[in-house]
Amino acid sequence: MANETLTITDNRTGQTYEVPITHGTVRATDLRKIKASDDDFGIMSYDPAYMNTAGCRSTITYIDGDKGILEYRGYPIEQLAEHSTYLEVAYLLLYGELPSQERLAWWENRIKRHLFLHNSLISVIQAFRYDAHPMGILVSAVAAMSTLYPEAKQIHDPAVREKQIWRIIGQIPTIAAFAYRQRIGRPFNQPDNSLSYTANMLYMMDYMNQRDYQVNPVLAKALDVLFILHADHEQNCSTATMRGVGSSHTDPYCALSAAAAALYGPLHGGANEAVLRMLQQIGKKEHVPGFIEKVKKGEGRLMGFGHRVYKNYDPRAKIIRKVAYDVFEATETNPLLEIAVELEQIALKDEYFIARKLYPNVDFYSGLIYQALRFPIEYFPFLFAIPRASGWLAQWQEMLNDDEQKIMRPRQIYLGPERRDYVPMDQR
Ligand code: CMC
């Protein structure tokens, strides 16, 4: 297209520069040629929290935050949630296309061959105190896997990379289940690879030697849909961490451990836990208007609302709301649901939330479902991390295969003291 450039006039010098525009973006390094004098470093862009900076080109996930659209490799999230499975979606994210029947069988087999944990990893999990937060266990256990599979350092070998991907996606649910059983003081159930990915996880957490034990298929399906919805979300805080840490060419376990640490925070994957605590604290539907008033005065946030990218209803939240009702038919209704629905109804009509485009996000209803599945609240961020592992790994591979990527190294604007001489202690 003609004139795909930006003309910039530097009013300090009167000089004009032409900068190419590609994919609606100018390169920040092109600004460096704009200098006030020969020894000037050149203009930098300042963008705290990366509000308007693309750090990569990606072909994995597309989001239109204003329209509330989310697609993985071009497939709308609604269609994937309805027709696909989490493992198929993980394949799609990692390999770029939906698998054939044969490839899907191969892929499922690869993952199911990697569900078991190394005994040393089991000892790591057992070393934690009974009340350790599961995310602390996840961050440590995944980092510990780096010591068990030292070949993982060969990140430029695609076959080695692929093997670590199978191990991570296979073992993460087992780590989650063992961490849970450790907490409640019960023996570990070894994985059963005849079950689906999510049914096996529920089995490892629940099974108590009952002769007639069967995983409830409605609950396994609900968890699978939640896993699909959480699998990737382009350059969010934890994914940017995975790419950033991975850009130093560390192994995928250490990078993923860092990504999980980023996910742990209450503004990110920890929000589902925070929503449940907020609903418990509100306690009754009648307390909702008072709570909203406090939020509007700046005394706390309405957790599960708002998003950096979505300025519309989060498409994942719409699907989750429906899943919540399916699950409550198979379990008993969660009394906190009534409070959540009331909060949503009041907030969606309130000028404060409308003006700021604050809508329910993925975490608003997911916690209620996790609670109906009897997961302890502290486990909620872990349940976010399990499926996000496939997104993190897909983004990590894409970063390694991108010739334009280098070690991540942002610039800064230095505003500290100018050069000064050291003052001896007796003169301060
Ligand atoms: N409750 C009340 N006010 C809010 C909320 C909220 N949940 N979120 C944003 N605001 C207000 C904020 O106070 C600010 O108002 P003002 O302009 O008067 O100062 C305005 O909206 C813009 O907020 P911001 O903090 O500049 O927006 P952000 O893009 O930096 O933050 C967010 C995005 C997700 C961190 C934020 O909306 C939030 O803290 N939400 C609650 C936590 C949450 O649910 N997180 C899960 C996100 S989705 C899953 C994931 O990605 O992990």
357: tokens are 């485009």
309 CA to centre of ligand 1 in angstroms: 10
Give the SS3 label for residue 72: strand
Specify the pLDDT at position 32.
96
265 CA to centre of ligand 1 in angstroms: 13
Please pick, among 307, 402, 421, 426, the residue that the annotation labels catalytic: 307
292 CA to centre of ligand 1 in angstroms: 14
- CA dist 104 to 89, 221, 223, Å? 10, 18, 20
Residue 156 falls in the annotated catalytic set: no
Tens of pLDDT, residue by residue, the chain (428 residues): 568 999 999 999 999 999 999 999 999 999 999 999 999 999 999 999 999 999 999 999 999 999 999 999 999 999 999 999 999 999 999 999 999 999 999 999 999 999 999 999 999 999 999 899 999 999 999 999 999 999 999 999 999 999 999 999 999 999 999 999 998 999 999 999 999 999 999 999 999 999 999 999 999 999 999 999 999 999 999 999 999 999 999 999 999 999 999 999 988 888 888 999 999 999 999 999 999 999 999 999 999 999 989 998 899 998 998 888 888 888 877 888 889 989 999 999 999 999 999 999 988 988 888 988 888 989 999 999 999 999 999 999 999 999 999 999 999 999 999 999 999 999 99
How does strand 75-76 pair with strand 69-72? antiparallel
What is the rounded average pLDDT for all residues in the chain?
95
384 CA to centre of ligand 1 in angstroms: 19
266 CA to centre of ligand 1 in angstroms: 11
Give the whole-angstrom CA distance, residue 344 versus residue 317: 11
332-373 confidence digits (pLDDT tens): 778 888 899 899 999 999 999 999 999 999 889 888 889 888
H or E, element range at 346: helix 336-349
Residue 114 falls in the annotated catalytic set: no
- For residue 269, give the ligand 1 atom closest to its CA: 52
Give the SS3 label for residue 18: strand
* Residue to substitute in 77, 235, 361, 392 for testing ligand 1 pocket (most ligand atoms within 8 angstroms of CB): 361
- For residue 308, give the ligand 1 atom closest to its CA: 29
Q: Which residues contact 401 (CB under 8 A, 6 or more apart)?
A: none
208-258 confidence digits (pLDDT tens): 999 999 999 999 999 999 999 999 999 999 999 999 999 999 999 999 999
Q: Whose CA is nearest to atom 28 of ligand 1?
A: 308
- For residue 236, give the ligand 1 atom closest to its CA: 51
Give the whole-angstrom CA distance, residue 48 versus residue 46: 6
Q: Whose CA is nearest to atom 9 of ligand 1?
A: 306
Residue type, 386: I
Residue type, 165: I
Ligand 1: does its nearest atom lie under 6 Å from the Cβ of 273? no
